[in-house]
Amino acid sequence: MVKYNPWDMACHQLDIVAEKISLDQGIHAKLRSCKRALIVSIPIRMDDGSVHVFEGYRVQHNLERGPAKGGIRYHPNVSLDEVKALAMWMTWKCAVVGIPYGGAKGGIICDPSKMSIAEIERLTRRYTSEISIIIGPEKDIPAPDVNTNPQIMSWIMDTYSMNIGYSAPGVVTGKPIEIGGSQGRLTATGRGVMFVVEEALKHLKILPKNCSVAVQGFGNVGSATARFLHELGCKVVAVTDVSGGLFNKNGLNIPELLEYVKTSPRKVIAGYKGGDFESNCKKANEELLALGVDILAPCALENQITKENASKVKAKIIAEGANGPTTPEADEILYQKGVFVLPDVLTNAGGVTVSYFEWIQDLQSHFWQLEDIDKELKRIMTNSFKDVVKISEKEKCNMRLAAYILAVSRVAHAVKLRGVFP
């Protein structure tokens, strides 16, 4: 089997759209490379007194439409190519929803589940110091991603502020409310997934109350997606996370499961009694991806629906809460099968959209009510869905290609307007 490389996949997706829209060769070449990639070594004193050197990255793919924006991931499988791909996807995501940012991403190769809170804090603070030469409220604004959270964003904000000598809340989003965070940011990505699914159901003339749902991943994105789809009236029949999978064809009690995970020591679904539990994560995912549900929401990691398992997918709609969960080969198989795939760059853009609201609030020191955030988020997600559907109907192509046509055209236009320096 050819080893999966997210950067090759991201470039391949760009090449497809470049051909489709006859993209200028120079602009294509520019968008096929990242503007900046910083590799940092992060020496940390561990709790046992030893020093461990971690490797971290911050990549800015494109800055033509505004400062760079993108999350920071802590995971053993982080690689430079993964971070580059995620940065490129951020460029497209910000362009699809029309917010004035370019794309960036960061990551550290580490396993936070094997580290103490104090070690994670030292890792975060040293990493922030190392990347502080390229981040800043006007330059590049990080946010949470896999295994990072509001507490980690607080340490980033504090470290950056200590280094420059004054508080700079606008350097990072996804912070706690008390230090300049936004109402609604914690659940924004899942809420955005729900708004896009709601529009898709209207488009396909399906009632939410007739829908069953399976969600892969029960972290920030997966748990909020499950919660809001449940509140929309759908029946969530399966969820998986790193500890295994829960299945209940009559519908899981999502509010109860959310409460259970919040209070469980490892913050996982294992041990919850309201469904059949499969403790082998690989087996649980295989079962979940092939379930006969209406909506499948991959909300964990990339490379989950591949050419090996795409033909087994029975869902009518795939709502990509995660970034890059479907490979290009799988996309083609799903399109042929008539599965309506809601692509990541559209579907999970609610997180960066509310991050944008948070950044505006920080810069203005003026904070909005939750109703205003939700209303504005709904407007942006709904309009973006409609923009993408319109292109997919006009070009007779799948929703991913349509979203890419919209995004790449917007970025290419900005590149053209700004010209080539010098």
Provide the binding-site residues for ligand NAD, judged by CB under 6 A: 144-147, 189, 216-222, 240-242, 281, 285, 299-301, 321-323, 348, 351
**CB nearer to ligand NAD: pick between 56 and 219:** 219
Name the minimum Å distance from CB 28 to ligand NAD: 25
Of residues 155, 101, 168, the one with CA closest to residue 363: 168
**CB nearer to ligand NAD: pick between 123 and 299:** 299
What gap in Å lies between CA 199 and CA 206, rounded to an integer?
10
**CB nearer to ligand NAD: pick between 120 and 299:** 299
**CB nearer to ligand NAD: pick between 28 and 361:** 361
What gap in Å lies between CA 38 and CA 127, rounded to an integer?
11
Contact 302, 8 (CB under 8 A): no
Name the minimum Å distance from CB 308 to ligand NAD: 15
Backbone phi, psi, residue 175, to 5°: -80, 160
Token code pair at residue 248: 């209940």
| C-beta pairs of 379-382 under 8 Å, 24+ apart in sequence | 380/97, 380/98, 380/99, 380/349, 380/353, 381/97, 381/192, 381/195, 381/196, 381/199, 381/349, 381/350, 381/353, 382/195, 382/199
328 class by beta-carbon count within 10 Å (0-12 exposed, 13-18 middle, 19+ buried): middle
**CB nearer to ligand NAD: pick between 18 and 200:** 200
Name the minimum Å distance from CB 364 to ligand NAD: 22
What gap in Å lies between CA 314 and CA 289, rounded to an integer?
8
Name the minimum Å distance from CB 186 to ligand NAD: 9
Name the minimum Å distance from CB 242 to ligand NAD: 3
Contact 398, 331 (CB under 8 A): yes
User: Can 3 be counted among the known catalytic residues?
Assistant: no
Name the minimum Å distance from CB 97 to ligand NAD: 12
Contact 225, 299 (CB under 8 A): yes
**CB nearer to ligand NAD: pick between 78 and 221:** 221
302 Cβ contact list (under 8 Å, min separation 6): 6, 82, 85, 322, 323, 324, 325
- What does the chain come to in residues? 422
Residue spans of alpha helices (H) in 61-116: 80-96
**CB nearer to ligand NAD: pick between 65 and 185:** 185
Contact 107, 57 (CB under 8 A): yes
Buried b vs exposed e over 209-236: b needs ≥16 C-beta within 10 Å? eebbbbbbbbbbbbbbbbbbbbebebbb
Name the minimum Å distance from CB 393 to ligand NAD: 26
**CB nearer to ligand NAD: pick between 212 and 326:** 326
Token code pair at residue 197: 């699914």
Ranked by CB distance to ligand NAD, the top (closest) residue is 219
What gap in Å lies between CA 303 and CA 289, rounded to an integer?
12
Candidate list 105, 175, 235, 316, residue with the active-site label: 105
Name the minimum Å distance from CB 69 to ligand NAD: 11
SS3 content of the chain, % helix, strand, coil (to 5): 50, 20, 35
Within a 10 A sphere around the Cβ of 100, how many other Cβ atoms?
12
159 Cβ contact list (under 8 Å, min separation 6): 124, 125, 128, 129, 132
**Catalytic positions:** 105
